[in-house]
Chain A
């Protein structure tokens, strides 16, 4: 298997791919970027926390017009993963308002985005609809 690198450093690869956040140890605010301090309370100590790999779509847009080189259409969304907001594309779903709906349950998935000159694969993430049969009991 070729070497892999995640698209972003808050994506953890392996058997159970998931996202991690920097959580402020003082107030619990969560951030996905490298931090200087906490934007909520000013605290400077952070701990890594795993983010739920399932969530619900709180907002979405279907982008049909973007920069050259960005394949369209694609679905961009705000996913609520157990109380933590995550920005991601919705994947493995038709990009139209008949198939993408507010509140739909989704789960994290990863895919190879491309291979560089050194043969390393970059792995990206997205959220896909949870099949009805695999969803939580109603």
Chain B
């Protein structure tokens, strides 16, 4: 017996348009799926953490209970930008680790189809007379006047800054990262897009914020994912089949962005990811070279590149070379985003931080079908929410 926490059951819905399902339908499908996958019921759960961002004040956890079981357990409604799902999962795990309960359920759900630009999408009109407001004493809206607030533009600059520092980047390089992820999703029946795009199609599509064209941006879609977590002690009392399919959570880390020069001008998504990865590798006792697959937060093609470096998949400054080597393709030495990633599988915000763990878990269980990474034993899942929050989880196959 140890103080390890395990994932006993996990499920993700198809990502895409679910016009006929509301938030609670999707959350229920994921939650009931995870419970069934783990061979347990809502009656076994001692805590519920429910992640949702766009309707964060609606109490989605209690709404979910009203449909699948009002058992009176504590509910934590969680919102933490794009790291919401990972934060919900950690909330359930912390309750188990603290000994408050043996099993917990974490759910992340979002309805995002057709949402368009999520920030900077509504600029307030100029007022009839100039009056300073806010922390910058601004007399008018700043988006578009003092740089950009839209996510494709912010993350474009993140990738461009890496290129300025180390060289080797180009519009085409970033587009080829997107080409990889769209190629990967053709093997993922749950992905929002399952269509291969040629490099010419990607580069020739609508430009959103150079160098990110539309297919290089994460796909707004609907979806949910859920996981049941269990203490080591409780797992040992379960069946051999349950123990065989359980995944050890060898690291679970959440960080926020520490102060660095310029971080309040352009968000620094690097330092908190590096910090999370370093701590996760220490917790798990593994290194980047041990990872059979990585699901990282490719909210834009420009973001994937910098996270190769931040997660230590290459030497500092070596992200372009790593990609050029082909290592991050599905048949490469360090497959990244074999699910299709956020660009192609889709990014229903709060679901993402559990869905990426579902992807890793499915490979470790040897249940990934056509896209299976053969013999996968260790995998890493990373999310980042701007503002910022970073979640890193490392999962290992059970030894049973």
Contact = CB atoms under 8 A, between A and B. Distances in A.
Interface in A26-43: 29-34, 39-40
A86 B228 CA distance: 45
A114 B130 CA distance: 10
Interface string B142-158: 11111110101100111
Interface residues on B, range: 35 or more
A62 B130 CA distance: 28
Contacts of A40: 259
Given A7-B146, A89-B147, 18 more contacts: A7-B145, A8-B138, A30-B261, A59-B161, A63-B148, A63-B150, A63-B209, A64-B208, A64-B209, A64-B210, A67-B120, A78-B147, A84-B261, A87-B265, A88-B147, A89-B146, A116-B130, A118-B130
16 contacts: A30-B261, A32-B264, A34-B136, A61-B153, A62-B207, A65-B117, A66-B150, A67-B123, A69-B125, A71-B144, A76-B148, A76-B157, A87-B146, A89-B146, A103-B164, A114-B140
Interface string A5-22: 111111000000000000
B209 A78 contact: no
> What are the 8 tightest A-B residue pairs by CB atom distance, in nearest-first order?
A9-B137, A85-B262, A61-B156, A70-B144, A59-B161, A62-B210, A33-B135, A76-B148
A94 B209 CA distance: 15
B138 A7 contact: yes
A124 B139 CA distance: 10
Contacts of A124: 145-146
Interface string A74-99: 10111000011111110000000100
A39 B268 CA distance: 14
A102 interface: yes
Nearest to A40: B259
A122 B150 contact: no
Interface of A: 5-10, 29-34, 39-40, 57-72, 74, 76-78, 83-89, 97, 102-103, 113-114, 116-118, 120, 122, 124-125
B137 A8 contact: yes
B129 A118 contact: yes
Contacts of B128: 116-117
B233 interface: no
A7 to B, nearest CB: 6
Contacts of B147: 76-78, 87-89
Nearest to A60: B160
Contacts of A62: 207, 209-210
B262 A66 contact: no
A69 B123 contact: yes
A131 to B, nearest CB: 22
Given A65-B206, A120-B129, A7 B140 contact: yes
A89 B145 contact: yes
B20 interface: no
Contacts of A39: 259, 264
Contacts of A77: 147, 157
A73 to B, nearest CB: 8
Given A61-B160, A65-B206, A74 B129 contact: no
B5 to A, nearest CB: 33
A32 B136 contact: yes
A62 B137 CA distance: 26
B309 to A, nearest CB: 15
A83 B120 contact: no
Interface in B259-291: 259, 261-262, 264-266
Contacts of A68: 123
B132 A74 contact: no
A113 B140 contact: yes
A112 B290 CA distance: 57
A125 to B, nearest CB: 8
A64 B207 contact: yes
Nearest to B160: A59
Contacts of A6: 139
A30 B262 CA distance: 8
A58 B164 contact: yes
A15 to B, nearest CB: 21
A33 B264 contact: yes
A83 B171 contact: no
A66 B139 contact: no
